[in-house]
Amino acid sequence: MKGKTVEVTGWSATEVLRRVARREMSCAEVMATFLARIDAVNPAVNAIVSLRDAEDLMAEARAADAAEVRGALHGLPLAVKDLVATKGLRTTYGSAVFAEFVPAADDILAARMRAAGAIFIGKTNTPEWGQGSHSFNPVHGVTRNPYDLSRTAGGSSGGAAAALAARMLAVADGSDMMGSLRNPAAFCNVYGFRPTWGLVPGDAVGDTFLATLATEGPMARTIDDLALLLNVQAGENPRVPFGRSARFTPPQPADLRGKRIGWLGDWGGAYAMEPGILAQSEAALQVLEALGAVVEPLAPPFPAAQLWQAWTTLRAMLNAGAKRALYDDPAQRALTKPETLWEIEQGLTLSAQAVYDASVIRSRWYARAARLFDQFDALVLPSAQVWPFPAEWRWPQSINGVAMDSYHRWMEVVIPASLAGLPALALPAGFGAHSLPMGIQLIGRNGADAEVLAMGQAYHHATDWPAQAPKGL
C-alpha cells in the first residue's frame, strides 16, 4: 500500500481528476490515499495544520462519489492557506490571538475553491500574519523543508509549498505580497504563480483601493495544475475595484525561438546573494537559451534604493491600517510577533507626503517596466537571495557579510514584480549548495499571465524539476 500511496499522491491534480472522471479511482480512494500520505509524512514536515477528522473527510469523499460533478476540483483533497478564512474550519492566521477562531463564512478564494468541488481537509501553515518568509508561529510551530528537514520551507506559503513537495497535496493555494508564492516555491522545488494584480480578487473588507500589493494565486508541481487552479481562483469580484477577468486552460508550450529575456541578476550588485545562487539561476537561463530564447544581461533599470523606499513605506502604511486594532489592545499586542509590531509602528509615523512620494516612485517604476516590455518578452530574477536556511532561525541576519537591516530585507529581490503588480512565475532551477533547491522568477508584462504560463510550460517540459521528489519521506 505504501508504494501505491506514493505513486498516487505523486500524480498531478490534473491526472488525479482525470482518473476520477474516468471512474478509474473513486473520490474516496483518492481521499484515503492522501490521508495515508499525510499520516506518514506530515509529523516530520508540519505543513498541514488543523487537519480534520478522517472519518468526516471520508464521508465527504463518498458523498462526492454519489453526487453530480460540482466543478473543476470535484472531490480533490485541498488544504487552504491559514491566512484564508474557511467556514467551519479553524483559521488562526498563525496568531495566538486567533488560535481557536472558527470563521462563520468563507473568504472569496475559499468559496470559489469549495464551489469547484474541492474537499477542504485542513489548512497549510504560514508565518504569523504572513510576515516574513519562514513559516513558523506560536500556534502550529515551524514547517520544515521536505528536501532537508533541518531547513526552512520559506513563506508565507511555506506550508503549501512543503505539502506539494512532500506529495501531501496535488495542488495548493498561496498568497504573495513580498514573494510568498515565489520564495517558498524556490525553496521547495515547486511552481508558484503570482498573477497580474486584480486577476484573483480579494474580499470587500477594509481598504480595497490602496491595498494593491498582495494577491492570491496557485502553487503546483506542473504548469497544467497552476492553470487549473488559477482558472478557479480568477475572475472579477464586483464588490472590489480594479478587477480583471480571464479564462485559463492547460497552456501549450510557447515557442521560445527568438524570445528576448532580460536577465537582471543581482540588480547591479544591489541585492546581496549567497554564493551559487546566480550561477544556479544562469544554469536555468541556459535551458531557455537551448529552447531558442535570447538571454541578454540587463543593467539595473531603476534605482534599487528608491524601490525599497516605496516598498517599505507602502507596506508599513497598509500594515498599520489593517492591524492597528492588534496594536491598540494591550492584551493582543502582547501576543503579536515583534516583526508585525515593527511594521505597525513604522506605519504610524508616516506622513501623507511620505505615502504620496512612495506612490509616485511606484508609478514611475511601473512606467519604466512597461517600456522594458517593449524590448523584452520576459524579465528574470532569482526567486531568493539565500538558500533554505536553518529552521531555528527567525530570519537571515546577513548575506555574505552584508547585514540585513530589517526582518525582510533579505527578500528584496521579489519587490520589483510586486510593486508593479506584474505576473511572476517561480520556476524551479534545480539543486545547488548542499543539494538544496533554488528557483528563478519569470516576469511578464501586465496582463500577460497566459503568455508567462506558456513560457513556463516550455521550461517545464525541458526540465520537470519537481519530479525529483524528496528522498527519505
For 254, the grid coordinates are 510557447
Q: Which of 228, 217, 244 is nearest to 116 (CA)?
A: 228
Active site residue 156: yes
Q: Which of 258, 283, 233, 295 is nearest to 84 (CA)?
A: 233
Beta carbons of 137 and 126 less than 8 angstroms apart: yes
For 190, the grid coordinates are 515547486
For 35, the grid coordinates are 490521508
Catalytic residue of the set 12, 156, 281, 418 = 156
Q: What whole-number distance in Å separates Cα of residue 378 and Cα of residue 417?
A: 12
The DSSP output letter for 378 is: E
DSSP assignment of 168-200 equals S-SEEEEEESSSTTTHHHHHHT-EEEEPPTTSS
Q: Is the peptide bond before 175 cis (omega within 30 degrees of 0)?
A: no
The sign of the CA dihedral 204, 51, 471, 158 is positive
For 161, the grid coordinates are 509549498
Catalytic residue of the set 133, 157, 180, 418 = 180
Q: Which of 203, 204, 111, 123 is nearest to 169 (CA)?
A: 123
How far is CA 253 from its chain centroid?
22
Contacts of 3 (CB under 8 A, 6+ apart): none
Q: What whole-number distance in Å separates Cα of residue 365 and Cα of residue 381?
A: 16
The DSSP output letter for 469 is: P
Catalytic residue of the set 50, 81, 323, 337 = 81
Active site residue 471: no
Active site residue 81: yes
Q: Where are the beta strands (DSSP E) in 67-179?
A: 77-81, 119-124, 136-137, 141-142, 144-145, 148-152, 171-176
Coil, strand or helix: which one is 448? coil
Beta carbons of 171 and 220 less than 8 angstroms apart: yes
Angle (deg, nearest 10), helices 223-233 and 108-115: 110
Beta carbons of 93 and 36 less than 8 angstroms apart: no
Q: Which of 143, 197, 151 is nearest to 418 (CA)?
A: 197
Q: Which residues are catalytic?
A: 81, 156, 180
